[in-house]
Amino acid sequence: MPTYKAPVDDTLFLINDVFHIDRYGNLPGFADASPDVIEAVLREAAKLSEEVLTPLNRVGDKEGCTRAADGSVKTPTGFKDAYRQIVEGGWVGISAPEEFGGQGLPATMTVMVNEFLCSANMAFAMYPGLTQGAIAALLMHASPELKKKYLPKMVAGEWTGTMNLTEPHCGTDLGLLRAKAVKQADGSYKISGTKIFISAGEHDLAENIIHLVLARIEGAPAGTKGISLFVVPKIMVGDDGSLGARNGVSCGSLEEKMGIHGNATCVMNYDGAVGWLIGEENRGLAAMFTMMNEARLGVGVQGLAQSEVAYQNAAIYAKERLQGRAITGVKYPDKAADPIIVHPDVRRTLMSIRAFNEAARALVMWTALKEDVSHRSEDEKERMSADDHMGLLTPVIKGVLTDLGFANAVSAQQLFGGHGYIAEHGMEQFVRDARIAQIYEGANGVQAMDLVGRKLGKDGGRALMAFFNEVQTYLKERADSDAMNVYLKPLGQSLAHLQEASMWFMQNAMGKPDNAGAGATDYMHLFGLVALGYMWCRIAEAAIEKLPKANGSAPRYSAKLVTARFFMERMLPETATRLARIKAGAASTMELPEEAF
Amino acid sequence: MPTYKAPVDDTLFLINDVFHIDRYGNLPGFADASPDVIEAVLREAAKLSEEVLTPLNRVGDKEGCTRAADGSVKTPTGFKDAYRQIVEGGWVGISAPEEFGGQGLPATMTVMVNEFLCSANMAFAMYPGLTQGAIAALLMHASPELKKKYLPKMVAGEWTGTMNLTEPHCGTDLGLLRAKAVKQADGSYKISGTKIFISAGEHDLAENIIHLVLARIEGAPAGTKGISLFVVPKIMVGDDGSLGARNGVSCGSLEEKMGIHGNATCVMNYDGAVGWLIGEENRGLAAMFTMMNEARLGVGVQGLAQSEVAYQNAAIYAKERLQGRAITGVKYPDKAADPIIVHPDVRRTLMSIRAFNEAARALVMWTALKEDVSHRSEDEKERMSADDHMGLLTPVIKGVLTDLGFANAVSAQQLFGGHGYIAEHGMEQFVRDARIAQIYEGANGVQAMDLVGRKLGKDGGRALMAFFNEVQTYLKERADSDAMNVYLKPLGQSLAHLQEASMWFMQNAMGKPDNAGAGATDYMHLFGLVALGYMWCRIAEAAIEKLPKANGSAPRYSAKLVTARFFMERMLPETATRLARIKAGAASTMELPEEAF
């Protein structure tokens, strides 16, 4: 049975000592987020994750969700009770506006808490997580009436939310979307069509489900410019907030899938369901995309979360499992064999995962803080620069953290040998669950194209230049630091690779966009490595600062320095290969005729 | 529903035009393997794989095996019928000695056929595959009486075989093994103990199951030097070959696992079961290891096989699925969208997989031919050099082909987007099935240590030097070929990386073996890339030779050249990163105290 211990101390170190949240005190909500409050919230979230959600992870995988003939869906044993605790703790709305019953705390805190929930039970955490996404969309685009009607119950977690984009023939290419909306005399719309892969589309955790649905209003233009966004409640809501009749939306079937069995992945049938327009007609995609950065950041966190929990269990196993002897000589003569952690290849695996986890957590936090700035700062320039950061880093975080999160879950499973392939240890579930994060919310190839095709050149490359400038300035200002040199030098080299790759695109992909497409995934990973490397420099610097008066915590900071070195020596060198691939261009990739495949 | 088309033409091209099987005519059995016979056998195996086994792959995954209260195990619907066709076709024994009812054809042909069977249905193919492994062990080590008693039925496929090594506390480290054998007056032994993860341990496909079991004879030394190998039939066999009473061995339970559900993974309880010694007392591990190279080669083939079938289905999907438009402009204006194969990132994925598959198939075949030479040649030097090759390349093939086979199954699944996560398309099953090949028959970390710790230095590095010498000679002899230059140059560079890494181990790992352990996995993959690169050169050379008079087949040979270039430009550059990691040494990998994990 897998276990989980939320990395509260590491999270506090990052937020306090690396990113100095106290410097954001001027932003609304941040004054309330004192170190004490943050720690208390994190410890409470840790408790919920460790004690309530972790034990339900295997249960959820084994039982899955079941659909009755009437279309109702039952979640696994224990999910209902656990969800009640989510509602009682007010976890859905910790960062939502107080006006709608939220606590108004920084969005960064929701991101930190969500990592814990996702590590403990990813399939479960999707129910509140999707609700947070739907809340964000309503907050940004819905009319005051719709907000008033839906948000308080959603912020409280009493109602959950969903996103309905995909149709059988249309995933990435939403321009092909067919779901129809017909305007009614009262200003509402009747929505008809089939949506697939709808997470949390139907379940028994909440008394109502608020669907956000993309559909095409009768007579709207074809393609992406004729798509509108609607709110469609499962059960009609009266003006007084009372629940009325069932709406014309139902779960047609549940998908049988590789993982996240505890979450109901539904085919949703809309049959003249009553809905209300969110934002403007035909501007549904834009409305959807303004919340995409946060949703994708959340999926990146899922990658990190599975990597973290898989690491923890692999580390425990590696210290317990006795097998073979250290090649440098017996380490535990009193035991029948040494624990496998003595073997360098096992260590290499564990170090690789933790070197990712700790920097990925920093990268997520750095970016979540930018999200807060972009929403809460009163300084337009600050908001713009934070927006730039979000736009640029979001595809990197989504793509790289889920690719590596999955790869790490696989590596952690590998340390268990045959026992990792068996369901009872839970390691193979982490792999199956982590896999979806590479796919949904825009498959990772789409993230790479978003980065290379859209984000690099946006506003004359402003966001990219700002990123380069920040890292370069950081390197330059510390160039004389002997203590930092071992981290700075490799980062400088990899930054140069990233700059060279960016330049190569400028020179070779404008006229031949296939050169950008063929190099996009490698560029995304090259970018990710540089961003993670930068995080390691900042972590190392903070650790060096803390060490002299760390006393009992000294081993924790020393470990940061060793892990930073491991990252620089073992993981960052990959940037050279990524650059070589990019510079190979698209020729051999595109040359074969289609029928050759 | 996934499909499969066996790569008969590619296999024939490799065996005839790249490896020139006609040059092996002096080896026993090879004279019978005329081009016509090979083609007929492959086409028959293709038919069986495509028409019978492929449709059962999903069935097997869905139904799995079920154990009744009496310990009997039922295989999935259709497996029994399909297995009957394996027996009728004589597929188990095509390479087995005619003396025992086999056809005596080259072992290479069994390897080729097994790729097809594994692509079509890996879980199913393990039943005959494990029988072939048990046959090999009996052939090499059993007494004439035992051979006579068991081999004819096993070669015919009427009885199946298993390997019983693992116990709950003992996997890689077989020295910890506890199963006991007590000698009886009649020369037989009574075997007691529990074995786990026993593939095909119990089932309803054959009337008898012949277990090969490692156990410790009463009073034998502790550790690996006190282990003996026994043959233990499920049902006792009389001297006249008649089946008698049940032996004291039974399936205690079936493991619930990530994949290969169609194969019964059993906990086997031995309770005073009657067994007979194979080979010498206390020499069981040695007996087991002499057949290990072939078994590991077979697992490498499983990696290739899953990569191949996943590729085929992804290629079909990429040509059918309409989504988005080519970045270079609309390609199919009459369709609602372009097929996703127009997108460079999709192409990159497909090219990466096929560039692996085609070279991996060559690498397997090259090594299988060495297996034949090592067993069948009358020239001692030839046998020795073939043995050297097998020893050196086997861990590379097992580790690299299964690591990349799995990664490729994941990439192929990715092209399906959300549809790849859903069971019905079968892509996620390829991923789950492929995963086991990285783990069993020696986890890949163990392969890497076998390569670096055992094989590199063996006999003064004779095998390694021979490999270097072959590739270097190849490069030198073609140095003036303009047509080959584009392939030779990158290979030369990567070979230099491999040589540098080998040298680095010599200089830095003798005194500090952790430096070898920490670099072992990277070295294995570096070696694999060079070996695959060498295969691409040989393939390209054969394609260049064939092209002028290829007529209708010209596109096939041209495609080889494009794919070879892709491999050189996009995949081989990884050797630089692997080398950098190796040369980083073990310091940061080993520095943290155990409690830091």
Predicted confidence at residue B289, as pLDDT, reads 83
Return the exposure string of B455-477: e unless at least 16 CB atoms fall within 10 Å of the residue's CB, then b: bbbeeebebbeebbeebeebbee
User: Quick check: A102 pLDDT over 90?
Assistant: yes
User: Quick check: A123 pLDDT over 90?
Assistant: yes
The amino acid sitting at B85 is Q
Predicted confidence at residue A288, as pLDDT, reads 87
A590 in contact with B, Cβ within 8 Å: yes
Residue written as tokens 């790729």? B115
A 10 A CB-CB count for B207 gives 12
**Residue (of B407, B547, B311, B318) closest to A438 by Cα position:** B407
Instruction: Sort A520 into a burial class: Cβ within 10 Å, 0-12 / 13-18 / 19+.
Output: buried
Long-range contacts of the stretch B19-26 (C-beta < 8 A, 24+): B19/B362, B19/B365, B19/B366, B19/B369, B21/B106, B21/B108, B21/B369, B24/B106, B24/B369, B24/B372, B24/B373
Phi, psi of A245 (to 5 degrees): -80, 165
Q: What are A338-374's pLDDT values in tens digits?
A: 999 999 999 999 999 999 999 999 999 999 999 999 9
Predicted confidence at residue A290, as pLDDT, reads 78
- What residues of A are in contact with residue B440 (Cβ under 8 Å)? 418
Return the SS3 of A210. strand
Q: Which residues of A are catalytic?
A: 441
Q: How far apart are CA A183 and CA A167, in angstroms?
A: 21
CATH architecture of B8-141: Orthogonal Bundle (1.10)
Predicted confidence at residue B1, as pLDDT, reads 85
Q: What is the DSSP string of A337-359?
A: S-BGGGSHHHHHHHHHHHHHHHH
To the nearest whole number, what is the mean pLDDT of chain B?
Answer: 97
Report residue A249 CA to chain centroid gap: 29
Q: What are B344-403's pLDDT values in tens digits?
A: 999 999 999 999 999 999 999 999 999 999 999 999 999 999 999 999 999 999 999 999
Q: For a pLDDT cut of 70, what percent of chain A falls above it?
A: 100
User: Quick check: A223 pLDDT over 90?
Assistant: yes
Helix A344-376, helix B513-546: angle, nearest 10: 80
Q: Number of A to B CB contacts under 8 A, please give it.
A: 258
Structure tokens at B432: 């789950």
A253 in contact with B, Cβ within 8 Å: no
Q: What are B188-243's pLDDT values in tens digits?
A: 999 999 999 999 999 999 999 999 999 999 999 999 999 999 999 999 999 999 99
Q: What are B142-159's pLDDT values in tens digits?
A: 999 999 999 999 999 999
A170 in contact with B, Cβ within 8 Å: yes
Helix and strand numbers, DSSP H then E, in chain B: 20, 11
Q: How far apart are CA B301 and CA B293, in angstroms?
A: 12
B510 in contact with A, Cβ within 8 Å: no
When pLDDT is cut at 50, 70 and 90, the band that residue A292 belongs to is confident
Q: How far apart are CA A215 and CA A230, in angstroms?
A: 7
Q: How far apart are CA B106 and CA B97, in angstroms?
A: 10
Mutate to test the interface with A, among B321, B348, B565 (most CBs of A within 10 A): B348
Q: Give residues 210 to 249 of B whose Cβ lies within 8 Å of A.
A: none
Helix A107-120, helix A122-141: angle, nearest 10: 150
Average pLDDT over every residue of B321-343 = 97
User: Quick check: A272 pLDDT over 90?
Assistant: yes
Predicted confidence at residue B293, as pLDDT, reads 85
Return the exposure string of A146-171: e unless at least 16 CB atoms fall within 10 Å of the residue's CB, then b: bbebbbbbbbbbbbbbbbbbbbeebb
Q: Give residues 139 to 158 of A whose Cβ lies within 8 Å of B.
A: none
Q: What is the DSSP string of A149-174?
A: HHHHHHHHTSEEEEEE--BTTBSS-G
B440 in contact with A, Cβ within 8 Å: yes
User: Quick check: B291 pLDDT over 90?
Assistant: no
- What residues of B are in contact with residue A511 (Cβ under 8 Å)? none
Predicted confidence at residue B290, as pLDDT, reads 78
Looking at CATH, the fold of the domain delimited by B160-281 is given as: Butyryl-CoA Dehydrogenase, subunit A; domain 2 (2.40.110)
Average pLDDT over every residue of B435-451 = 97
Structure tokens at A204: 């028994």
Predicted confidence at residue B415, as pLDDT, reads 98
The amino acid sitting at B125 is A
When pLDDT is cut at 50, 70 and 90, the band that residue A304 belongs to is very high
- Of A328, A580, A590, which is closest to B344 when you measure between CB atoms? A590
Average pLDDT over every residue of A44-50 = 98
**What is each CA distance from B162 to A375, B210, B232, in whole angstroms?**
63, 6, 10
Q: What are B497-507's pLDDT values in tens digits?
A: 999 999 999 99
Q: Which residues of B are catalytic?
A: 441
Predicted confidence at residue A289, as pLDDT, reads 83
Looking at CA atoms only, how far is residue B476 from chain A in angstroms?
A: 25
Contact check, Cβ <8 Å, A328/B431: no
B-chain residue closest to A444, CA distance: B414
- What residues of A are in contact with residue B513 (Cβ under 8 Å)? 327-328
B435 in contact with A, Cβ within 8 Å: yes
For the full predicted model, state whether its pTM sits above 0.90: yes
CA contacts within 13 A on the Cβ side of B188? 14
A-chain residue closest to B511, CA distance: A328
User: Quick check: B270 pLDDT over 90?
Assistant: yes
Domain boundaries, chain A: 8-141, 160-281, 459-586
Contact check, Cβ <8 Å, A569/B590: no
Q: How far apart are CA A550 and CA B237, in angstroms?
A: 72
Contact check, Cβ <8 Å, B418/A336: no
Predicted confidence at residue A424, as pLDDT, reads 92
When pLDDT is cut at 50, 70 and 90, the band that residue B292 belongs to is confident
A431 in contact with B, Cβ within 8 Å: yes
Q: Which are the contacts of B507, defined by CB distance < 8 A and separation ≥ 6?
A: none
Q: Are B389 and B466 in contact (CB under 8 A)?
A: yes
Predicted confidence at residue B409, as pLDDT, reads 98
Contact check, Cβ <8 Å, A421/B439: yes
Q: Which letter does DSSP use for residue B231 in this model?
A: E
Looking at CA atoms only, how far is residue B478 from chain A in angstroms?
A: 23
A513 in contact with B, Cβ within 8 Å: yes
Structure tokens at A451: 């980065």
Structure tokens at A33: 């987020």
Q: Are B524 and A348 in contact (CB under 8 A)?
A: no
B267 in contact with A, Cβ within 8 Å: no
A-chain residue closest to B259, CA distance: A421
Helix B427-437, helix B292-320: angle, nearest 10: 160
- Of B351, B513, B555, which is closest to A589 when you measure between CB atoms? B351
Average pLDDT over every residue of B70-95 = 98
When pLDDT is cut at 50, 70 and 90, the band that residue A248 belongs to is very high
Contact check, Cβ <8 Å, B422/A257: yes
Contact check, Cβ <8 Å, B337/A586: no
- What residues of B are in contact with residue A591 (Cβ under 8 Å)? 562
Average pLDDT over every residue of A433-439 = 98
Q: Give residues 389 to 418 of A whose Cβ lies within 8 Å of B.
A: 406, 410, 413-414, 417-418
Phi, psi of B63 (to 5 degrees): -80, -40
A518 in contact with B, Cβ within 8 Å: yes
Return the SS3 of A274. strand
